[in-house]
Structure 1
């Protein structure tokens, strides 16, 4: 599918601005899902761009990875968003980038690499509530299946759009409550940020 066609599909949704800003990167999926009027995205959300050198396209300085999100035609808020962060501190960047696409009724999940593996939190920020969880199952997709009690075998026969629909539909009904903390309290509780270059061959 061409970029022009994808952009047209996203145009009347909450993902449109993010697409125009060039933030929806490395898509595994981007476009119409199997639910009428819904578009979805699986990939990487650029949070902070690196300075441009001439025409060289550089990877973002900071990103939210393994993103799963859906948006509905004619609606300006994202009903569902999930992603992985190396550090809890970057929740602020996610909230600022998503900005006016956030709402009090949306379901937003952030799996963070540097929070206590035994704890789960709710963090209010910019008028939205973020579910902040540790990353145990190695991928956001697996974490969400575990959290939402979805059977991987039940989803195996679905295509990428169908899997995204199934996760989003269940996530939007999620109503479990965790301890509520402020962003500032989260900064105090978070652990050190892992060096992602560790143990890599030189």
Structure 2
């Protein structure tokens, strides 16, 4: 059976970056490891033995990597700010590939816009998030029916999404990372208007 350390997700696991997972292991497809959870991008300073949440993370991640391949084949994730793309690309490093399909739903991108950004040797689809979850937005983007996936377990859902994403061929206006920084809106305070 394939283990996470035999895939491109192995290094992230070894670095303690794969957090809050609802799936971190084999899917129904031979040789594939799936992940659903968060990826720590910037760790908080440690004090004594206290485990602190990361300062910056990419949340609601859905990812898949194949045994024997040096890159992550598919990744869909939430970023609070488009600016964090640089941090994500640096953390993923050599696990990125021009062949991979990477979808980033950014909270501070104009709701009517979609872009493609080349960064770290890979192409990222940059999309707004419309008050929904990355899971729902990804299904909508890939024209996958939620009802069709309902009977599948988490691993089966990751397989269905990753397989459909592999054939995704739409293209969006290409911009540079610097152009994206100039276009992005303010970063929302996630804890605003929450009861204490």
Q: Secondary structure at the match of 2:48?
A: coil
Q: Secondary structure at the match of 2:16?
A: coil
- The residue number in structure 1 matching 2:170 is 176
Please list the CA deviations of residues 108-148 of structure 1 after superposition, one character each: whole Å capped at 9, or x if unmatched. Answer: 00000000000000000011000000001510010011000
SS in 2 for 1:29: strand
Contact 1:135–1:143 (CA under 8 A) maintained in structure 2: yes
Aligned to 2:40: 46
Q: Which of the residues 155, 176, 187 maps onto 1:193?
A: 187
Equivalent of 1:68 in 54, 62, 66: 62
- 1:132 maps to which residue? 126
* Map of 1:95 onto structure 2: 89
What is the Cα deviation at residue 11 of structure 1? 1.2
Please report the RMSD computed on the Cα atoms of aligned residues, expressed in angstroms.
Answer: 1.1
Please list every run of at least 4 consecutive aligned residues from structure 1 whose deviation after the TM superposition is greater than 6 angstroms.
Answer: none
Aligned 1:3-152 pairs, distance under 5 A: 9-136=3-130, 138-152=132-146
Instruction: Structure 2: state its 5+ residue gaps.
Output: none
Kept in 2: contact 1:48–1:60 (CA 8 A): yes
- TM-score of the superposed pair, with normalisation by structure 2: 0.98
Q: Which residue of 2 aligns with 1:154?
A: 148
Q: Secondary structure at the match of 1:131?
A: strand
Distance in 1 between residues matched to 2:155 and 2:6, nearest whole Å: 19
Q: Which whole-Å deviations, capped at 9, do the CAs of 1:57-109 have from their partners, x for residues lacking one?
A: 00000000000000111111011011001100000011000000000111000
Q: How many residues align?
A: 196
Aligned mates of 1:76, 1:149 — CA distance in 2: 28
Asked if the contact 1:26–1:44 (Cα under 8 Å) also holds between the matched residues in 2, the reply is: yes
